[in-house]
Structure 1
Amino acid sequence: MMPTFIGLLNACSHMGLVAEGSQFFSGMTRGYGIIPEIEHYGCMVDLYSRAGLLQEAHAFIMNMPIKPNGVVWGSLFVGCKIHKNIELGEEATRHLARLDPLNDGYYIVLYNIYAEAERWEDAVRVRKLMKNRGVKKTPGCSSILVDGVIHEFVAGDDSQSQAIEIFEMWEKLVDYMKLRGYKPDTSVVLLDVEEKEKEKFLYRHSEKLALCFGLLNTPPGSVIRIMKNLRVCEDCHAAFKLISSIVSREIVVRDRNRFHCFKDGACSCQDYW
C-alpha cells in the first residue's frame, strides 16, 4: 500500500494536482492507518514546489516530524529554480551542501538561478566552488535507437558522421518553426555571451541533434524515441511540439523526470514537468 501512495503522490505532482495530492497524503493515516515515511514527505514537497507554492513547501519541511533528507531539500531547490526564488534556493543549498555535497545537479541549479538573475559574480563563485570540491557537471546526453543500433549525442557534439546533414536539417526546421511563431528561448543558455552565441549553444542541445538524426534515418511517419539523461529544457520542449506538427511525426522523449509524447503540436505533459 505504501508504494501505491508514492505512485499517487508522484502522479499528482507531475500533473499539478495539489488539492488531490494533499487529500491522498492526509488520507494515508486517517483512512488507512499508514504512517508517512520520508519518501511520502519528499513527494509532497515536490508537489508544492512544482506548483510554485514554495512558501508552503518550506513550511511543510519545517513541520516534518522526521528529519528532511537531501531529496526533500532537493525538491524545494528545483522548485526555486523553476519559479526563480533565490532566497529559498540559497537556504536549500546550505542544507544540500551538508547532505549531498558531491551532487553536481544542485550546484548547476544554483548556478542557473544566479545566471537567470544575471548575478554573474555569484554564478562564477558557484563554478569555483565546484572546481575546488572536485565536482564536475554532467553533460547533456541523448540517445536514439535506429535499425537496432544505439546512437548517442552529447550537447555541442559535431563529431557525428552526419553532423553536416544534422545541422542543415535543424536550420530548415527552425525556418519552418519561425513561420509558426517560434522564438529561440535563449534564457535557458546560462552564459554571459552575445545573443547569437546563445542561439548557437541552444541549437546544439543533445536531444535536438538526436531528433534530426532520427528524422534523417527513419521512415516517414514512424515514431521517434529519444532518451535523455537530464531534464528537457523549455526551448527544446517548445520546439519539439512544433516539429511534431511540421513533420507529422510522433516524438517520444524520456528525460530525467518523465515521458513526453509530442504529437500534433502538443505534449502529453501539458507543459507541466
Structure 2
Amino acid sequence: MTSRSSEAGVAEAIGLYLPFLRRYARALTGNQTDGDNYAAATLEAIISDPSILTIGDNPRIGLFRAFHAIWQSSGAPVGDGESGLVERAQARMRDLTPGTREALLLHTLEEFSIEEIAAILGVDAEEVRVRLEIANREMERGLAGRVLIIEDETIIAMDLQGIVTAMGHEVTGIARTATQAVETGTAKRPDLVLADIRLADDSSGIDAVNVLLETFGNLPVIFVTAYPERLLTGERPEPAFLIAKPYSEEQVRSAVSQAMFFSSVETLEA
C-alpha cells in the first residue's frame, strides 16, 4: 500500500469513528468542551503518527486506544471549577474506583467486547470484568431520582419505565408529544429526562428538552433514538448521553447511572 493510500485509509477510519469517540469523550468527561478537547488532542497525535491506529486490523480500537493514552497521560482528570449539580457530580466522580467508569462506558455506550476493552485500556480481560462489576455497583449506589420519559412508542416507553423503576427511580410521567412533555415536566420537575427526538405528532423531543432546560436550568438528559446521526453532527452542542435504538437494558441502566453524575446537555437547536 502506498503512503498516499495509507493516509487515505487513516482519514476514512477517523471520519467513520470520530463521532462516536466524541460521544464517548463527552460522557467520560461530563461536558462537551472537555470531551471535544481530548478528541482533538487524539486527532493531533494521530496526524503526527498515523501508526498509532494500527492495532491489528481494527482502526476503531486503535482510535480509542490513542484517546486513552492521552487521557491517562493527563491523569484522567475529573473537571473542577464548576458549580451546582456539576460540582456535586465531580465530587462523586473523585470517589469512584480509578478506571472503572472508562470500562463501563466502553462496554455499554460504545458496545466494545471485554477483549476489545482490554486492548484499549492495556489490561487483561479479567481486570476489565472486575472493573465492570465495581463500576455498576458504585454508579448505581444512592442515585435514585425522578425520571421523565418522552417517547411515543408505547412498548418502548413501558420498557424504559420498567428499567428505571427497577433501578429505584420514580417515573414522573410518560409523554408522547413535545407539548405533553413540557406540561408533564413543568408540573413535576424531573431529575433526569429520557427523550426520543421524533414524537407522535411529528413534534420534536429536542424542542421539549430545550424548553425544560430553559425552565429548570441544567438537567441530565439521555436521548434514546433511532436517528443518532441527527445529533452527532459536530455542528451544535450535543448530548453527552445518546443511545441508539434498538438498545439493551444494560445500556439504559449504565446511561441513567452516568447521567445522574453529570448535567451534560447544553441547549440544542431543533
Scaled by the length of structure 2, the TM-score of the pair is 0.30
Scaled by the length of structure 1, the TM-score of the pair is 0.30
- Structure with greater contact order relative to length (CA < 8 Å, sep ≥ 6): 2
Larger Rg: 1
